[in-house]
Amino acid sequence: MDKIEAARYLGMKPDDLNERTEALIEKCALKLEGVIAPKHIYAVFDIKTKNQKVIFPDFEIDSNALSKHLEKCDEAILFAATLGADVDRLMMSASYTDISEAAVMQACAAVMIEEYCDSVMETLVDGENNKFLKPRFSPGYGDFSTSYQRKILDILKAPVKIGLCVTDGDMLVPSKSVTAVIGITDEKSGCNINKCASCGNLFCVFRKE
Amino acid sequence: MSFKERLGKEILFFDGAMGTMLQSAGLLAGELPDIWCVTNSEKVRDIHVSYLEAGCNIVKTNTFGCNALKLKDSGYSVKEVAEAGVRVAKEAIELMGDDTTPRFAALDIGPTGKLLKPLGDLEFEKAYELFAQTIEAGAKAGADLVLIETMSDTYELKAAVLAAKTVCNLPVCATVVLDKRGKLLTGASVDAVCALLEGLGVDALGFNCSLGPKEMMQHVKELSKVCSLPIILNPNAGLPREENGKTVFDVNPEEFASLMEEPARETAHLLGGCCGTTPEHIRALVNKCKGITPVQITKKTQTVVSSFTHAVTLDEKPILIGERINPTGKARLKQALREGDYDFVLREGLGQAEKGAHVLDVNAGLPDIDEAEVLKQLVTRLQTVTDLPLQIDTADEKAMEGALRLYNGKPLINSVNGKQESMNAIFPLVKKYGGVVVALTLDESGIPETAQGRVDIARKIIERAGEFGIDKKDIIVDPLTLTVSAGDKNGKVTLEALRRIKQELGVKTSLGVSNVSFGLPRRDLLNSAFFTLALGAGLDAAIMNPYADMMMDAYNSSLTLMGFDEKSEHFIEKYSNTQAQTTVAAGSTMTLTDAILNGLAGDAALLAQKELDDKKAPMEIIEGMMIPALDKAGVGFENGTLFLPQLLMCAEAARSAFDVIKANMGTGTGESRGKVIVATVKGDIHDIGKNIAKSMLENYRFDVIDLGKDVDSEKIVQAAIKHGAKLVGLSALMTTTVVNMEKTIKELREKLPECAIMVGGAVLTSEHAEKIGADIFTGDAMAGVRFAEYIYGTEK
């Protein structure tokens, strides 16, 4: 797990890390590694983009940002991944025994789910038959409403298959989880869009420069 | 013959996948399959017929997702769809005509699609209602059995089984999904699932989905070792694989049938298929396995309790039941229970787990509180943070039932005794909810003075339990420890009764060990000696204090001496080169202030104790040593020289010092600086931000009333009124839940215009906070403290 990235989530730059904080991050990462049960599920669909919408065979997503992101794609992957429920239990328990661990675990687990998604994406079609993957684009980025999380999970049968559900308030549970749309394109260039760059929350403390 | 009469005596075949077949019949991605029972009933019926023609005995109705949540916007009612589902299945069975093949319609019940609290936002009772509604309709429509399937959470599974057992008299089968670890998605092991389901009284249990027959093999063997019921095996046609964006399964019908032959001969009694299996798979399976005489089911005799993750089996090796969550004689716990300070209780639970307890006793018996409600809260909260099985300990039947219902597993039940009244009250609860019950050897005539008298009562209790259908493996007899200060022979009689009950009645035993020393000096000496003697006499479960080092030493030493510690490895690991640090090393120059500033929680606790031992007044310690350290850390954080993890480490160190002072001084730790209500708003279940704010406020001696997460606006308003709080802190993480924050603020303004409101959360800004009517946006861990100081006029 990338400790520097975890520190960034905790509002620290690489130079701010001292020995004790680093040790705490390592300790929390180790505890998390003992309980994570990462799982993912995905499916590929033919898509079209039109009038600020992304049109899938049986449904549409109304989002200008996503539509722009997928402009040159004729296929897209619906993707969902989770670190599992035990991570939430561990973090809840830490919030009673040691609040510093609880906070650091949040950061570590956030890094771990991203790293897991990255590792899964590496095994997907990237480069095969001259097809390339665009970066993950998740509900909540730009005008891609979080309410689409339910639709994505339903289509993938994620509650049954990987135990990933959504609350009435559109929150993913277990909490360290991701849903995303990943475009598939013939063009290799233009893929490395920083996902922060496409987010409207310009003042987010976690925004990458 | 009925399904129940055939069950376990012959191999019965389930059908295969429904979803896969519906998709080939034209079901769209994301479309609700269940409504096809109404809209395309002939297509659904054809699928049933094709499975029946392939030779299966049981068709699963197309009602996997038939619940009020999923059907909400479908235009169809649960009753309509469930009835149609059963009707279509029965029509298909009728179409097969009269032959000798037994055929049944299983009302298929899948998960709700929501995660239950505390992980998700669905209440246990709400889940129960959803299941009850579907099952009631399906049973009335004439289903022959209920199949609860594809469950991956024990809590949801419990809700479904309870509903099925309550609203109908049909046989209930249940199958769960295992991942590659051989566990449920929410972490439960196979033996934990088995203990729960057997306790709840299902008729058959097993696995479906996710894995293929090959991968399930090992797990079904594991299950057959602990299970006393017929086993169901409904695997996928192999592991799913992605091909051109579609999920495919590789195991063909012949291979599938071959792989299922071994379990048919050795372990399972009901065989069928899940995702990827077709009528051809089922035809091959029936051809291969029809006529096999299934393995005879043996009744297992292990005494097992379970949590949502694992089972604890009382076999040869004795276990420890932590006794600390019982207010009797514990002033600090009494205070915590009265004040609703559940955090303290949870830490007691987690602490005992850390010390090595295997089960936690939970007792809320205080005369001046609502015991039933508090016990529910304790059980619900404890099972959120610890995976140890719980022992529900109450003399109040109502409180017992409430807690048993919400417990996520098969609990220990403390207790029943030989009085008819007690047995008549408790045994039906044990039967309904499952559990292992502790039986006290006393009756209408009191506690017998002789070992013989206690053996007799134990025998009577076991017999009476049998009349309720409760096996003796689910009874643990406690022959009662009486203090030796009241009778010289008390210890001896208990030990003799213990030995005889084990030998003559063949049940497991438990004792509340420390009762032996009441009224005598150096209780630790007597307790640990008595504990050792009891272990020698065959004690299986000790209710004791895991914090008592001498007791733990007696336990660890006894395990080694009794042959439970291979090559003495556990003992050596525990006791070589370890000298427990209970006092601060001599010559250390570290002060309490240093310890807090450096975030050293262990040292901070020891140094706080040292200051108390040196007769320093608590207030002097707090004001003179702790607050300055916290202030320095807080200022450092505000200036950007100290970061969140470090600030929180300081907070944690300060808390451990406070805990020491509180434990020594009770309530005399000085005036609170004011009350602050904190809550994560309705719809929002992320509470780390709120928890950080709370932790900081408590360190600055604000009295924080934490209402938790996903809290209704009304509850927040009421709490603010009840506690007379001048400040409320609200947290929301998502844009979608900020709406509820705004609603809460509006209601607070109406009812309590004088109350200040601070808000925090990742999506908020100062402007946004102002727009929704908050007084201030507190963007980091210290901001809440500073605002609280401002409101209560105590800022420096």
* Residue A188: predicted pLDDT: 72
Q: How distant is the Cα of A51 from the closest Cα of chain B, in angstroms?
A: 23
The residue count of chain B comes to 796
Q: What is the CATH number of domain B303-563?
A: 3.20.20.20
Question: Does the fold of domain B303-563 match that of domain B3-289?
Answer: yes
**pLDDT of B204-221, one tens digit each?**
999 999 999 999 999 999
CB B654 within 8 A of CB B647: no
Pick from A10, A57, A93: which is nearest to B645 by CB? A10
Report helix angle B253-266 to B279-289, nearest 10.
Answer: 40
Mutation target vs A (from B70, B185, B350; most A CBs, 10 A cutoff):
B185
Q: How distant is the Cα of B665 from the closest Cα of chain A, in angstroms?
A: 21
Most confident range, picked from A9-23, B222-236, B626-640: B222-236
Interatomic CA distance for residues B383 and B398, integer angstroms? 20
pLDDT at A201 over 70: no
Pick from B150, B347, B692: which is nearest to A97 by CB? B347
**Closest CA in chain B for residue A166:** B114
Report the percentage of chain B scoring pLDDT > 90.
84
Report the percentage of chain B scoring pLDDT > 70.
97
Pick from B30, B598, B685: which is nearest to A151 by CB? B30
Give the distance, in angstroms, between the CA of residue B782 and the centroid of all CA atoms in the same chain. 34
pLDDT at B361 over 90: yes
Residues 6+ apart with CB under 8 A from A18: B646
> Phi and psi for B631 in degrees, rounded to 5?
-60, -45
The residue count of chain A comes to 209
Mutation target vs A (from B74, B681, B685; most A CBs, 10 A cutoff):
B685
Answer whether B185 sits within 8 Å of A37, measured CB to CB.
yes
Mutation target vs B (from A36, A128, A156, A160; most B CBs, 10 A cutoff):
A160
Pick from A25, A37, A173: which is nearest to B685 by CB? A173
Whole-number Cα distances in Å, B675 to B211, B229, B698, B700, B701: 53, 55, 10, 12, 9
**Closest CA in chain A for residue B659:** A97
Domain extents for chain A? 3-198
CB B322 within 8 A of CB B360: yes
**Chain A residues lying within 8 Å of B242, measured CB to CB:** 42-44
Answer whether A160 sits within 8 Å of B111, measured CB to CB.
yes
**Closest CA in chain A for residue B653:** A98
ipTM over 0.90? The verdict is no
Kindly report the number of other CB atoms within 10 A of residue A98's CB atom: 22
Beta-bridge partner residues of B676:
B704, B727
Nearest to B419 by CA among B445, B399, B394, B392: B445
Answer whether B733 sits within 8 Å of A151, measured CB to CB.
no
Cα atoms in the 13 Å half-sphere on the side-chain side of A16: 20
Residues 6+ apart with CB under 8 A from B207: B175, B176, B177, B178, B216, B219, B220, B223, B232, B233, B234, B235
Q: How confident is the model at residue B646 (pLDDT cuts 50, 70, 90)?
A: very high
Whole-number Cα distances in Å, B329 to B58, B325, B365, B498: 58, 11, 11, 27
* Residue B796: predicted pLDDT: 47
Tokens of residue A14, six digits: 């690489």
Amino acid at residue number A44: V
**Chain B residues lying within 8 Å of A75, measured CB to CB:** 245
Interatomic CA distance for residues B458 and B545, integer angstroms? 26
Beta-bridge partner residues of B538:
none
CB A39 within 8 A of CB A82: yes
CB B785 within 8 A of CB B791: no
**pLDDT of B431-443, one tens digit each?**
999 999 999 999 9
Interatomic CA distance for residues B690 and B166, integer angstroms? 39
Amino acid at residue number B599: G
Q: Rg (Cα) of chain B, in Å, rounded?
A: 30
pLDDT (mean) for B235-247: 83
Q: How distant is the Cα of B740 from the closest Cα of chain A, in angstroms?
A: 10
Kindly report the number of other CB atoms within 10 A of residue B244's CB atom: 7
Domain extents for chain B? 3-289, 303-563, 592-665, 675-791
Q: Which CATH number fits domain A3-198: 2.40.170.20, 3.30.750.24, 3.40.50.300, 3.40.109.40?
A: 3.40.109.40
CB A70 within 8 A of CB A29: no
Angle made by CA atoms B607, B613, B616, in degrees to the nearest 5: 85
Answer whether A24 sits within 8 Å of B649, measured CB to CB.
yes
> Phi and psi for B305 in degrees, rounded to 5?
-120, 165
Q: Is B586 exposed, middle or buried (0-12, 13-18, 19+ CB in 10 A)?
A: exposed
* Residue A59: predicted pLDDT: 87
**pLDDT of B763-782, one tens digit each?**
888 999 999 999 999 988 89
Cα atoms in the 13 Å half-sphere on the side-chain side of B573: 8
CB B647 within 8 A of CB A22: no
Strand order in the sheet with A53-55: A48-50, A53-55, A60-62
Residues 6+ apart with CB under 8 A from B753: none
**pLDDT of B410-460, one tens digit each?**
999 999 999 999 999 999 999 999 999 999 999 999 999 999 999 999 999
Q: If you write DSSP's letter for every residue of B271-314 in order, what string do you get?
A: E---TT--HHHHHHHHHHHTTPPPPPPPPP--EEEE-SS-EEEE
**Closest CA in chain B for residue A20:** B646
How many A-B residue pairs are in contact by the CB < 8 A criterion? 177
**pLDDT of B529-567, one tens digit each?**
999 999 999 999 999 999 999 999 999 999 999 999 999
pLDDT at B745 over 80: yes
**pLDDT of A22-42, one tens digit each?**
999 999 999 999 999 999 999
**Closest CA in chain B for residue A163:** B185
Q: Helices then strands (H, E): number in chain B?
A: 31, 25
- Average per-residue pLDDT for chain B: 93
* Residue B29: predicted pLDDT: 75
Q: How distant is the Cα of B178 from the closest Cα of chain A, in angstroms?
A: 10
Answer whether A58 sits within 8 Å of B30, measured CB to CB.
yes
Kindly report the number of other CB atoms within 10 A of residue B74's CB atom: 17
Mutation target vs A (from B385, B388, B768; most A CBs, 10 A cutoff):
B385
Q: Quick one: CATH architecture of B3-289?
A: Alpha-Beta Barrel (3.20)
Report helix angle B78-95 to B124-140, nearest 10.
Answer: 40
Q: How distant is the Cα of B685 from the closest Cα of chain A, in angstroms?
A: 8
Q: Quick one: CATH architecture of B675-791?
A: 3-Layer(aba) Sandwich (3.40)
Q: Which CATH number fits domain B592-665: 3.40.605.10, 1.10.1240.10, 3.40.30.10, 1.10.760.10?
A: 1.10.1240.10
Mutation target vs B (from A89, A145, A204; most B CBs, 10 A cutoff):
A89
Interatomic CA distance for residues B291 and B294, integer angstroms? 9
Q: How distant is the Cα of B353 from the closest Cα of chain A, in angstroms?
A: 12
Interatomic CA distance for residues A167 and B740, integer angstroms? 14
**Closest CA in chain B for residue A155:** B30
Q: How distant is the Cα of B312 from the closest Cα of chain A, in angstroms?
A: 19
* Residue B682: predicted pLDDT: 93
Pick from A57, A93, A165: which is nearest to B120 by CB? A165
**Chain B residues lying within 8 Å of A59, measured CB to CB:** 29-30
Answer whether B384 sits within 8 Å of A89, measured CB to CB.
yes
Interatomic CA distance for residues A30 and A3, integer angstroms? 12
CB B53 within 8 A of CB B21: no
